[in-house]
Amino acid sequence: TAKDTEKLVTWFVERGYKIKGSISSHFHSDSTGGIEWLNSRSIPTYASELTNELLKKDGKVQATNSFSGVNYWLVKNKIEVFYPGPGHTPDNVVVWLPERKILFGGCFIKPYGLGNLGDANIEAWPKSAKLLK
């Protein structure tokens, strides 16, 4: 939500970090709920073209920047966005930080159960997940 996003941004700023942007991993509100607040503060927001299309279809605020394709380097050799295919949602992406060897899987990677399956592609999800190796 906007309120949660504001709290999170404040937490980072109070610790001396500069917010350079936000990537939404899929169109559900748990990933995109803060886009409007971020946009209003001129903080760059990023989402896949498909995510922005789904947001537009639902009458929601879209990210100011979009990307397409399977791989997208937001910052060359530092922040890679990867679309493995449908899973939790048709548009879910993951974010890889190669220097730190950190993969942010968002709702595509679930530790306890599958969660909200309303927009999931259960058949494709395991095949998409195998591409993360």
DSSP secondary structure, 33-91, as one string: TTHHHHHHTT--EEEEHHHHHHHHHTTPPPPSEEE-SSEEEEETTTEEEE---SSSSTT
Establish whether 91 is a catalytic residue.
no
Residue 110 confidence (pLDDT)? 87
Residue of 39, 77, 88, 92 marked active site: 88
Establish whether 28 is a catalytic residue.
yes
Burial class (CB within 10 angstroms; exposed 0-12, middle 13-18, buried 19+) of 81: buried
**Model-level pTM?**
0.93
Residue of 26, 52, 91, 92 marked active site: 26
Q: What is the pLDDT of residues 74-107, one digit of tens each?
A: 888 899 999 999 999 999 999 999 999 999 999 9
The low-confidence residues of the chain, meaning pLDDT below 70, are: none
* Nearest-angstrom CA–CA distance, 25 and 87: 12
Residue of 30, 39, 119, 121 marked active site: 30
Establish whether 116 is a catalytic residue.
yes
Residue of 28, 52, 91, 92 marked active site: 28
Establish whether 4 is a catalytic residue.
no
Residue of 58, 77, 91, 116 marked active site: 116
What is the pairing mode between strands 65-67 and 45-48?
parallel
Establish whether 119 is a catalytic residue.
no
CATH of domain 2-130: 3.60.15.10
**Which residue matches tokens 């109070």?**
14
